[in-house]
Amino acid sequence: MIGGFVEVLFENSLRQIEIKEKMTFKDLIEELEIKETDPYWVACNRKIILKSDFGQKVLEPGDHVEIIRILSGGSVG
């Protein structure tokens, strides 16, 4: 399907991104300029999408995508 938009919540910003023909999650990650080595999780319509599925899963108009950057660290007590 060509056209339509998905909502993407990333870094406290809600964006509407136009879907290109057969746009996959891999395409979306590249468009957002997120590095493959960055630690993050992706959920679509409240379901986790595995990184191994990014190249196969195609975005649909109306999808709600959340990209959560994983931070690590802690305090020394």
Residue 23's SS3 state is coil
Distance of CA 13 to the CA centre of its chain: 13
Give the CATH class of 5-69: alpha beta
The mean pLDDT value for 44-51 works out to 96
pTM for this one? 0.83
User: Considering just the CA atoms, what is the radius of gyration of the chain in Å?
Assistant: 13
Domain residue spans of the chain: 5-69
What are the DSSP E strand ranges found in the chain?
5-10, 13-18, 40-44, 47-49, 64-69
Taking only the tens place, the pLDDT of each residue in 16-38 is 999 988 999 999 999 999 988 88
What letter would DSSP give residue 36? T
